[in-house]
Amino acid sequence: THSWHTHPGLGEVDDDASNKDAEETDEPSPKVSRSLSRRGTGSISFGEEAPTCCERIKDKIRKICTAIFGSSDRIQISPKWDRLRKWTAHTLNLHLFEGGMGCVIIFNIMLILIETNRRLECDANNIPIESSACSANDPDI
């Protein structure tokens, strides 16, 4: 018996003809993946099968983790170094460490801006900066 089926966008496809071609050669037949879009047009691609949804999510998570926890090679680690020195160099190379240092710097800049603003208010109100009445000297900064 001869088997035919209709594939959207491709017309009729002869399943038996493609099987005979694969049987006549010693090479393994390529994997064929078929996909349908919402409009009903189909496509056939040869090669590896498309990754599943879970594989795509895992790949994206892996890329995000590499971006966060990945490292640069600014400090070249020598094999002669002891274990603590290698660990320190690896930690200093982490993108996460650099990001954390950036957050600390931004936080310090915010504190400097708050203190500067308070000193400006004391100066505008003719309050001596050294006195306890000036809010720039409060212990919360």
Q: What is the pLDDT of residues 13-63, one digit of tens each?
A: 555 554 444 445 555 555 544 555 455 555 555 556 777 888 889 888 888
Would the pTM of this model clear 0.75, i.e. be above it? no
Residues 107 and 119 sit within 8 Å (Cβ to Cβ): no
CA distance 47 to 28: 12
